[in-house]
Structure 1
Amino acid sequence: MSARGGLWGTGVYFARVRPARQASAPVFRPRSPDQRISGTEARMASAALACATSISLTRAITRYSVAASLLFFATPVTPPNPRYFRPFLNFIMSLPAGFEKIEVKNPVVELDGDEMTRIIWQKIREELILPYISLDIKYYDLGLEYRDQTNDQVTVDAANAIIEHSVGIKCATITPDEARVKEFNLKEMWKSPNGTIRNILGGTVFREPIVLERIPRPIPGWVKPICIGRHAFGDQYRSTDYVVPGPGKLQLVYTPADRGQKTTLDVYDFKGPGVAMSMYNTDESITGFAHASFKMALSKKMPLFLSTKNTIMKKYDGRFKDIFQEIYESTYKSQFEAAGIYYEHRLIDDMVAQAIKSSGGFVWATKNYDGDVQSDILAQGFGSLGMMTSELLTPDGKIIESEAAHGTVTRHYREWQKGNETSTNPVASIFAWTRGLLHRAKLDGNNKLRDFCLDLEKACIEVIDEDGIMTKDLALAIHGKDMKREHWVVTDVYMDTVNAKLKEKLAKRGQV
């Protein structure tokens, strides 16, 4: 053994164990204080720790030898900053002797995705989830190529698996347009996988911002969260559209199942080419949407607003308004009054204006398209599109599908393909995993899994708010045009730091 001291000013001294090596072996250079650990090194450290644990070394030897070995890797170094390594080092110095994975009794359904989010998704699964959890994953590849290969049957199969197992965890996916059809040489322009899954599951998509103290809000008046519920069934997302080739009459025909008299409505007399669309919804789905929305408002103890355009679509949107009011009066009014909250219907344009002027603190029930648009506005208003949870919840509360609320981040993926550094915010994708697993924990009564998920979510937030380590989108929100390269890190560095923070938290619980 040879002594080496002073871990970057921490006052901690330790012994470094030098294994015997051949004369031809390379000489390892110690790391200097301005050199940070890489993701590869972190994985090497984890492997070293696993080996040390497996041969039952004592706690002290495990701690100090692993910590020492981290300073003597011979991989290329990248300056600066020691702050990226310190959280991981602190964890190493507090390690118990071993680690036992959290057992999860029932499966979850994983739905893989596309482009940059697919790359990030794999790192989340392999480095933030599976090292800590013994989990049966029912995997479905919803990457666009495989959807095309299976004629989109994989999407239907995935949705049915979610119904069977109650928990779906989904990566962001491509919804193809004309350009994507050409790019991927698709058989046809497949429908949105999100839309297909939502139509099979039913339920309501609830999105809520992940609020950070460090990130300034473009709408500073929003001091309380706004939870937006999107009716995830029908409307434009399950519509039938048609390119009208020339002059002619468009009609809407309803044929009763009991072979009663048909109803035919004249829609429009085309004088030339154009487009047309027919969409629908059902009383059953709207009723489920209402129940889910009222229950969410009660659980959060916040008022509920429903927004429609019933002044224009008197029968279509009017049906939403009437069903909500009937259910409120018959089922929830007394509960709302007891909780000190209320329900109100507003026109969508008025509601948007009121939301901007408000301080937040309410649940907003929206139709399918309105929720798709307004949820992104809410996310940006609170600071970032990458900081938004998204959960599809069925009316009975038994089934959940969690996903990242943003897209596949194509622009970053193009840079990644070129070998350039990318700084993509992974927080929403991480929360997709934690929110799905939290529901699994709730259904199974698994407190260890619940605590793990909460620790991982806190680690994501604390790394940004307390340590100031963040991706480029958040740094831009803080510094604007004065942002410099030192203000942000690449995705891998952020996620490695989150992993280190998570290990600290698990160590305090005695779980590692």
Structure 2
Amino acid sequence: MAKIQMKTPLVEMDGDEMTRILWKIIKDELIIPYVDLKTEYYDLGLKHRNDTNDQVTIDSAEATKKYGVAVKCATITPNAARMDEYDLKEMWKSPNGTIRAALDGTVFRAPIQVKGIEPCVKNWKAPITLARHAYGDVYKNAEIKVPGKGKAELVFTAEDGTEIREVIHEFDGPGIIQGIHNTDKSISSFARACFNYALDIKQDLWFATKDTISKKYDHNFKDIFQNIYDSEYKDKFEAAGIEYFYTLIDDAVARVMKADGGFIWACKNYDGDVMSDMVSSACGSLAMMTSVLVSPSGVYEYEAAHGTVQRHYYKHLKGEETSTNSVATIFAWTGALKKRGELDSIPELVEFAEKLEKATLSTIESGKMTGDLARITDIENVEVLNSENFIKAVRATYDQM
């Protein structure tokens, strides 16, 4: 059978450790036999990032802006131990953070649900997608450890020298202070990315903060979302038959626990970080979580939500067998191929990606899976496959469909 032809390349961002090993097997077994794969390749492995002073990460983000769709392997964000292990010139920033900043993107994460791996919340019938604002808050904070008595103030100095001051607290002993910020520009980009993604996948959008307590900071998020919705998206949402609404974060948590799923839940940066882990763990495994970075201009970057699986990689280097779950990495590829097919009007590419996703889930439902899923499944008499054999089993399922 002739391979499916592509018109425009994907931006391919290779990564680190065990996920890099899986990346190659997935391409060789599941993509290249069926698709005349066109990619613009960037090696975001830590060694090459170090060799290029991390310029390769910046270049990959610029290429993503150019081509519109990227697929990314998991990468290492170095700590002190990695500095020594890789003999790094400096402790390079998170590639994900660099790419998010360059694309002004919002992260959407959703669990991959499969029969036999049931969510802890039994009424979740469809995946809940977490939309996480990827700028500011505690991730760009300033902190002071207060040594003793004194007055803490919040001070803003305008360009013309005028000041706005607010007393934070009169300390009568040691304590701590934290300052956080955000920008209207970033919040507006977050809002538009959420509205566009909801229209793209035709699902309701919830947004939640704590504006009753944070009457300026959180309320600003609420107001910006509402103003943009009313002026730019209300008619589009009504035409699509979907809903946008705002609620308090504590009310959202309560509603989520009783909901059926199948909606997007938008959160500020920290809330989204925490709640996405809650949703993914409640659905079984971080290795069963998709992640897509969407810019307000409609650029997409797909990846798995998990890390590089360091422990399995060290076993692999010793020649020991691993049983590493590759499902989220497979779905990163299928998500990117589907979007490329949609943008380039190649229905065969979309159909291929959808069929490959079904084959992946059918393989698990037939009782063939990696060790992490075997420990939590209610399927009986499962066959635990090693890393490579699971991917080959998916290919066998695909060929039989």
**TM-score by shorter chain over 0.5:** yes
The one-letter code of the counterpart of 1:292 is A
The one-letter code of the counterpart of 1:495 is I
Q: 2:210 aligns with which of 306, 309, 313?
A: 309
Q: 1:38-93: per-residue Cα shift (whole Å, max 9, x none)?
A: xxxxxxxxxxxxxxxxxxxxxxxxxxxxxxxxxxxxxxxxxxxxxxxxxxxxxxxx
TM-score normalized by the length of structure 1? 0.70
Report how far residue 115 of structure 1 moved: 1.5
Where 1:414 maps in the other structure, the secondary structure is helix
CA distance in 1, matches of 2:237, 2:37: 39
* Corresponding residue for residue 460 of structure 1: 360
- What does 1:284-299 correspond to in 2, within 5 Å? 284-299=185-200
| Aligned residues of 1:305 and 1:346 also touching (Cα < 8 A) | yes
| Aligned residues of 2:116 and 2:378 also touching (Cα < 8 A) | no
Report how far residue 106 of structure 1 moved: 1.4
The answer to whether 1:382 aligns with 2:290 is no
Report how far residue 171 of structure 1 moved: 0.7
The one-letter code of the counterpart of 1:472 is G
Question: Judging changes above 3 Å, is the alpha-carbon distance between structure 1 residues 110 and 302 closer, same or farther for their aligned structure 2 residues?
Answer: closer
The one-letter code of the counterpart of 2:321 is E
CA distance in 2, matches of 1:155, 1:269: 45
* Corresponding residue for residue 502 of structure 1: 398
| Aligned residues of 1:303 and 1:342 also touching (Cα < 8 A) | yes
The answer to whether 1:344 aligns with 2:245 is yes
CA distance in 1, matches of 2:106, 2:176: 29
Q: 1:227-285: per-residue Cα shift (whole Å, max 9, x none)?
A: 22112233344x1556769679877654545x453556666789999876654332222
Where 1:110 maps in the other structure, the secondary structure is strand
- What does 1:77-156 correspond to in 2, within 5 Å? 99-156=1-58
* Corresponding residue for residue 176 of structure 1: 78
Where 1:191 maps in the other structure, the secondary structure is coil
Aligned-pair identity (%): 51
| Aligned residues of 1:203 and 1:285 also touching (Cα < 8 A) | no
| Aligned residues of 1:242 and 1:277 also touching (Cα < 8 A) | yes
CA distance in 2, matches of 1:272, 1:116: 49
Q: 1:161-208: per-residue Cα shift (whole Å, max 9, x none)?
A: 111111111111122233333443433333221111111101322222
The answer to whether 1:475 aligns with 2:383 is no
Rg: which structure is higher?
Answer: 1
CA distance in 2, matches of 1:135, 1:360: 34
| Aligned residues of 1:246 and 1:271 also touching (Cα < 8 A) | no
Report how far residue 492 of structure 1 moved: 0.9
The answer to whether 1:492 aligns with 2:391 is no
Q: 1:452-483: per-residue Cα shift (whole Å, max 9, x none)?
A: 21221111111112x22111111111159xx9
Report 1 or 2 for greater relative contact order, CA contacts < 8 Å, sequence distance ≥ 6. 2
CA distance in 2, matches of 1:502, 1:359: 30
Where 1:344 maps in the other structure, the secondary structure is strand
Question: Judging changes above 3 Å, is the alpha-carbon distance between structure 1 residues 102 and 302 closer, same or farther for their aligned structure 2 residues?
Answer: closer
Gaps of 5+ in 2: none
The one-letter code of the counterpart of 2:305 is A
Where 1:217 maps in the other structure, the secondary structure is coil
Higher strand share: 2
The answer to whether 1:400 aligns with 2:300 is yes
* Corresponding residue for residue 315 of structure 2: 415
Q: 1:333 aligns with which of 234, 247, 255?
A: 234
| Aligned residues of 1:199 and 1:234 also touching (Cα < 8 A) | no
Where 1:160 maps in the other structure, the secondary structure is helix
Question: Judging changes above 3 Å, is the alpha-carbon distance between structure 1 residues 270 and 180 closer, same or farther for their aligned structure 2 residues?
Answer: farther
**Larger mean Cα displacement after TM superposition, 303-312 or 444-453:** 303-312
Q: 1:87-110: per-residue Cα shift (whole Å, max 9, x none)?
A: xxxxxxxxxxxx432221212211
The answer to whether 1:230 aligns with 2:120 is no
Q: 1:214 aligns with which of 98, 109, 116?
A: 116
Question: Judging changes above 3 Å, is the alpha-carbon distance between structure 1 residues 359 and 390 closer, same or farther for their aligned structure 2 residues?
Answer: same
* Corresponding residue for residue 89 of structure 1: none
Question: Judging changes above 3 Å, is the alpha-carbon distance between structure 1 residues 419 and 375 closer, same or farther for their aligned structure 2 residues?
Answer: same
* Corresponding residue for residue 333 of structure 2: 433
C-alpha RMSD of the superposition:
2.9
The one-letter code of the counterpart of 2:204 is P
CA distance in 1, matches of 2:336, 2:389: 25
**Larger mean Cα displacement after TM superposition, 148-157 or 242-251:** 242-251
Gaps of 5+ in 1: 1-98, 506-512
Question: Judging changes above 3 Å, is the alpha-carbon distance between structure 1 residues 463 and 322 closer, same or farther for their aligned structure 2 residues?
Answer: same
CA distance in 1, matches of 2:265, 2:207: 6
**Larger mean Cα displacement after TM superposition, 496-505 or 291-300:** 291-300
Where 1:478 maps in the other structure, the secondary structure is coil
**Larger mean Cα displacement after TM superposition, 178-187 or 209-218:** 178-187
CA distance in 2, matches of 1:155, 1:242: 29
